[in-house]
Chain A
Amino acid sequence: MTPLLEVEAVSVRYDGFEAVTGASLTVEEGRTMAIVGESGSGKTSLALAVARLLPPGGEVVSGSVRVDGVDVTALRGADLRRARGRLVGYLAQDSMAALNPVLPAGLQVAEVFETRDGTRRREARHRAVELLGQVGIQRAGEVAAMYPHELSGGMRQRVMIAMALALRSRLLIADEPTTALDVTVQAEILALAAALQADHGVTFLWITHDMGVVAEVADTVAVMYGGRIAEQGPAGEVFGSPAHPYTQALLETVRGGAEAPPKAPFATIAGAPPAGVIPPGCPFHPRCAHAFEPCPEVVPAMVDTGPGHRAACHLLGVGR
């Protein structure tokens, strides 16, 4: 089976600055891959490259992105317009900015039916209300008439999800859609995403900084650091036997200390993620507790550490 999303050796540049370097990953249809990383890891640039939404000045300088067999990096003009939405949908973190503030929620969903399928307005509005109900909004008819500012963050995110369903995008990029939400609302949205995947076979590329969210949603995980993929593989593998020191340290901060006594020190990673200048060699080497001679000099190659599980670390070459 060919994967729905194939990203091959993609590099993204913003005038002179390389935000993503040689990233490769695949996502099978109906599955969820999570890309996890901190600020400056390149996770959002990679997602924007897949969605063809890079801001002016940003471009894919090498590599290819295929969605359902279509090379989206090569699309231009009308082809690109048709592909957007049909191939790739985008759920943004900031639902207030993503929705039109002067249009009622229902109308924004209805618009999708009108433009995508040529549905007549009355029918489109009817289907919009139906869809708002499907994403778990009670009294959908009333909510459809409300403006984005009248809705809570969780409700707005549901409206965004309804729009994505109306588009029937092949791939849905979820760019930290729950980051601004309270934990109880986040739990509802994660449950909704899982239910939609089961009912409609939606394929997700889920961007997040939160290993807890990854644990909940992901079938496969790619961990990014300093513009590169440090480790990727099935979620159970990456959480169960993390191969990269960065992944190990990140997981330690999340689940470490579940049994720690009150006020015991937290496990830490020294320093901060690179901002602007990415260190030569392995980008993680200045913060890595295990760094040795080759790390500041040579970029480590991806090596297989298990079925479908790969990591880029010099330590992995040492033991073999």
Chain B
Amino acid sequence: MTTPIVELDGVTKRFGRVTAVDDVSLALYAGRTLGVVGESGCGKSTTARLIVGLERPSAGGLRFNGTPYGRSGRALRAARRAIGMIFQDPYESIDSRFTVGDVVAEPLDTNGVRRSERAGRVRELLDAVGMGGIDPGAYPAQFSGGQRQRIGIARALALDPELVVCDEPTSALDVSVQAQILNLLLDLQRDRGVGLLVISHDLHVVRRMSDEVAVMYAGMVVERGPAEAVTGAPRHPYTQALLDAIPGTSPAERRLRDRTRAAAGIASAAAAGCPYSTRCPLATDVCRAEKPPLEGGEHRVACHHADASAA
């Protein structure tokens, strides 16, 4: 098996008493896409920040091409150069006081790329994201959300990354623009062979973009496997609930409004056992007492009642 570009081995990240990421193991490969889904607070963004080196793990290890990184030093700097990141909000993630050329060239400047090469590289990068016709001296304010996201992608590509981490790359964009950006990411992967980590709350997007999908809940990976298996035949009751909550695509498939009226309670304290046991319709005593391990072959699940129907 080829060495992953980035490998997480039992990574945990605590902020004070809160465990944002809990014993997560993942691997990212060249030319392949790992999709991570989950709701707010599930730890998916912290996982992304750990991978790009913006956070240090509290426990566990990260490896870049087989070499440990994640604390400091040369390995971390090498990993940072080789991992690009695309952010959710192209209005906040791009400094509007910089010209487009300066935004795109920032990683070149901080990594000592020669001035003589700079302008040519900026052109190439803008070209690669479908913005070849624009003046690099223009300011971001002149561009739409979708165009700004393209500028952000050009910046992420500046140092020829092996891996690009995309944290909700389209959720701030208009519906009619999202598909353009997703197609651009698919093209870049095909042409450059980059590995992609796509983090999204949108299961449709993740299913279409990914080779492998990981579902996170309360900091843990609760299910992981080939994209079609996880989204087509989910084994964890939480994944089933997530899929059930997606609105239908036509009034004929209306499902949500016929559900029994769900109740909202005060969020209960984290259980000692499975973190989903407080919401899970299948929960029994063992769920409240013991945290289930992530087990299985290609399609793994962390559930004491895996494959039971929650219906």
Contact = CB atoms under 8 A, between A and B. Distances in A.
Given A184-B245, A191-B256, A216-B256, A137 B39 contact: no
Given A191-B259, A263-B209, A155 B249 contact: no
B254 A216 contact: yes
Interface stretch (A79-87, A266-274, A289-297): A266-274
Nearest to B266: A139
A84 B241 CA distance: 39
B110 interface: no
Nearest to B209: A263
Interface stretch (B20-28, B141-149, B160-168, B286-294): B141-149
A215 B248 contact: yes
A142 interface: yes
Nearest to A158: B264
Contacts, number: 162
Q: How would you classify the secondary structure of chain A's contact residues: helix, strand, loop or mixed?
A: helix
Contact of A272 (B174, B183, B248): B174
B186 A273 contact: no
B180 A268 contact: yes
B225 to A, nearest CB: 13
A260 B262 CA distance: 33
A154 B269 CA distance: 18
Interface residues on A, range: 35 or more
A24 interface: no
A255 to B, nearest CB: 4
A217 B177 CA distance: 24
B174 A273 contact: yes
A152 B257 CA distance: 21
A107 interface: no
B159 interface: no
B247 A210 contact: yes
Contact of A212 (B178, B228, B246, B259): B246
B261 A136 contact: yes
B208 A192 contact: no
Contacts of B123: none
A288 to B, nearest CB: 12
B72 interface: no
Contact of A262 (B228, B255, B261): B228
A62 interface: no
Contacts of A273: 174, 176-177
Nearest to B260: A191
Contacts of A39: 145, 174
Contacts of A185: 39, 264
Contacts of B207: 262
A157 B233 CA distance: 32
Contacts of B89: none
A268 B144 contact: no
B262 A191 contact: yes
A301 interface: no
A226 to B, nearest CB: 12
Nearest to A180: B40
Contacts of B178: 253, 266
A187 B259 CA distance: 9
B92 interface: no
Contacts of A139: 265-266
A61 B244 CA distance: 44
A249 B266 CA distance: 41
B242 interface: yes
Given A184-B245, A263-B209, A211 B144 contact: no
Interface stretch (A2-10, A66-74, A168-176, A234-242): A234-242
B210 interface: yes
Contact of B176 (A158, A186, A217, A272): A272
A158 B264 CA distance: 9
Nearest to A154: B264
A210 B175 contact: yes
B117 interface: no
B258 A212 contact: no
A102 interface: no
A184 B242 contact: yes
A218 B251 contact: yes
A190 B189 CA distance: 37
A306 interface: no
Interface string A172-209: 00000000001111111011111100000000000001
Interface string A240-280: 10000000011101110110101111111110110100000
B105 interface: no
A250 B175 contact: yes
B252 interface: yes
19 contacts: A154-B264, A158-B264, A183-B242, A188-B262, A191-B261, A193-B257, A194-B258, A212-B246, A212-B248, A216-B247, A216-B256, A249-B176, A253-B178, A255-B249, A257-B208, A262-B211, A262-B228, A265-B183, A273-B176
Given A185-B39, A267-B179, 14 more contacts: A38-B176, A138-B266, A143-B266, A152-B264, A152-B267, A183-B246, A212-B246, A215-B250, A235-B251, A240-B250, A250-B176, A262-B211, A266-B178, A266-B183
- A-B interface, 9 closest residue pairs, ranked by CB to CB distance from nearest: A212-B247, A194-B257, A255-B249, A266-B179, A182-B39, A138-B265, A187-B245, A188-B262, A38-B174
